Amino acid sequence: MSKSEREAMFGKTESGYLWCLHCERAYKESEYRTEVNRNGDMMEMCHYEDCDGDAVIDAWDWADLKEGHPDYPDNPVEGKVYPQYG
């Protein structure tokens, strides 16, 4: 399997999960979705259909978010919102 654009830029995540800055939900690193933009370029997007977050720029390693939230689980629940603040 080829590397995702995000993995090529930043390497593998420590946790195996990504957290989306747009919708504040987490998903497995390999479960991003792809869309074709109006220029015909393939884009890697947040796993969740109702989110417009980019899986390259808007996705953080779950381990990085967890540093500020030690109460968050090691393995996030799919679909659950994990606020960055509050």
Q: What angle do CA 50, 54, 56 make, to 5 degrees?
A: 145
Answer for the pair 31, 44: CB distance below 8 angstroms, yes or no. Answer: no
Structure tokens at 75: 């393995």
- pLDDT value, residue 3: 78
Beta-sheet strands, E only, within 1-86: 17-20, 26-28, 33-36, 42-45, 59-61
Instruction: Kindly report the pTM of this predicted structure.
Output: 0.89
Domain ranges, ordered by start, for the chain: 5-67
Tokens of 71: 């109460």
* pLDDT tens digits along 12-44: 899 999 999 999 999 999 999 999 989 998 899
pLDDT of residue 71: 97
Q: What is the DSSP code (8-state) at residue 1?
A: -
Residue 1 has pLDDT above 70, yes or no: no
